[in-house]
Structure 1
């Protein structure tokens, strides 16, 4: 049975090992979907900013490269979704079968990293403001 048939049959369940894991997954998916939908407008604004600074012969070469990059990106996404994703799912399904059992996972490492980054950021910002205040006086 392939992955999409399992999802449709309700056999696949999204699990989370953190308190906010499922919310963050939905937020992450929404963000990237929004970026994909807004990308044409964003690129139009970038082009409107860059185009006045280009010579006519440079502008003439830019359009084919931009269109070619868009086509290559779409072809890469289609290839990955059509060929790579099913092969990857099949590989992991075969190699992981029977090796893992549901269990409670410890996320103490993520708490440690959060503490580490928070302390690093607060120290850096304190040093930054100290240098700014010292330099202005």
Structure 2
């Protein structure tokens, strides 16, 4: 299992990078091989100084049961009242996007939030 770099090491790496670099991209959160994830109370974890967050949501399992597709489905069901027989559709995907945006804002993140959707053919 991989884990994030300690903040002090990440601070040093970013500080020591050449001025020619415009961006540092950090993959911040996995979904245990699921296409979608419902974030826990302490997620998403955002590195201090982050200016932009890109939420990546997988759409390749539309039509399948949320139970089988969404990592932490039980938490989603508990917090949102998601039906036991719910299936992944555009509404579920948009709800997950909204949850992430809300949690980011509630954590104090004031930067730009974008969303990218991925299917079996790539990004859109």
Both structures adopt the same fold (TM-score exceeding 0.5)? no
More strand by share: 2
More helix by share: 1
Q: In terms of Rg, which structure is larger?
A: 1
Q: How would you bin the TM-score normalised by the shorter chain? A: under 0.3
Q: TM-score, normalised by structure 2?
A: 0.24
